[in-house]
Amino acid sequence: MDEIRLIEIKEDILSDNAALASSLRERLKEKKTYLLNLMSSPGAGKTSLIIRTIQGLKDRFRIGVLEADIDSIVDSEKVAAQGARAVQLKTGGFCHLDAAMVNAGLAAFDLSDFDLIIIENVGNLVCPAEFDTGSIRNAMILSVPEGDDKPLKYPLMFSVCSVLLVNKTDYLGLSDFDMQALKERVKKLNPEIRIIEVSCKTGEGIDAWTKWLSDEISEFIKQV
């Protein structure tokens, strides 16, 4: 009987993706364009946060948004209504973005015209965490209605992000969400992560978020 050959397809895919992501980051540095990969589960508030971010930073930075959804352009329409350039990626059945998809989306932008481009990744706490998009930083949103146990169930997502935004804090009084327990669980996975409590509805914490991002962009531009 012939020897059975085992091919690790996932490892090959991730290796190829990592190489492309690294190349993309070098191009972003040359253009001085900060790329932020924003991830969360569906309904956590990615689009609402992006709109708040545009409103808070549009006078300081030139902002574009790369929207990713399995279908629909509804989020791109909301972003465009804020006066920001939006490009929609329809992923079909794909539950994540990888570096090749992001590279294709960025081809619709002239990177020299943007200081900040935000990726709104597909709503999912699993697959997006596995694929390097070429972004400078990863950020994620966890909404209060999702519960404080998500770091126990989806540890990789919390491990690969530089900042965690706990959104919908206006629901805290209506839930048994334990903020301290969440922070302890997240910090155990990722001691360096920044945790910011926000409410896109009331505006709570948005200034802290936009300051973090503004400082990140300014430092990035200075370094390159």
The verdict on residue 25 lying in a domain is yes
Cα separation of 190 and 202, whole Å?
28
* Residue 9 placed within a domain: no
CA dist 141 and 156 (Å) reads 14
Flag whether 3 is in a domain.
no
Residue 223 forms part of a structural domain: no
What number is the average pLDDT over the span 152-156?
Answer: 98
In-domain check, residue 129: yes
User: Kind and range of the H or E element at 7?
Assistant: none
What CATH number is given to the structural domain containing 168? 3.40.50.300
To the nearest whole number, what is the mean pLDDT of the chain?
91
Model-wide pTM > 0.85: yes
Q: What's the mean pLDDT in 161-176?
A: 97
The pLDDT, as a whole number, for residue 223 is 87
Q: Which residues contact 37 (CB under 8 A, 6 or more apart)?
A: 97, 119, 121, 128, 133, 135, 137, 138, 139
* Distance between CA atoms of residues 215 and 218, nearest Å: 5
Residue 74 falls inside a structural domain: yes
d(CA 126, CA 96): 9
pLDDT at 10 over 60: no
Q: Number of folded domains in the chain?
A: 1
Q: Is residue 86 part of a domain?
A: yes
Rg over alpha carbons for the chain, rounded to the nearest Å, is 18
Say what the pLDDT of residue 73 is: 72
Each residue's pLDDT tens digit, 85-121: 999 887 776 788 999 999 999 999 999 999 999 999 9
Return the higher-pLDDT residue of 6 and 166. Answer: 166
pLDDT score of 155 more than 50: yes
Contact predicate 70/59, CB 8 Å: no
pLDDT higher than threshold 90 for residue 6 = no
| pLDDT exceeds cutoff 60 at 71 | yes
The residue ranking higher by pLDDT, 185 or 93, is: 185
Range of the domain at 170: 16-216
pLDDT band, very low/low/confident/very high, at 68 (cuts 50, 70, 90)? confident
- Residues pairing with 119 in the sheet: 37, 66
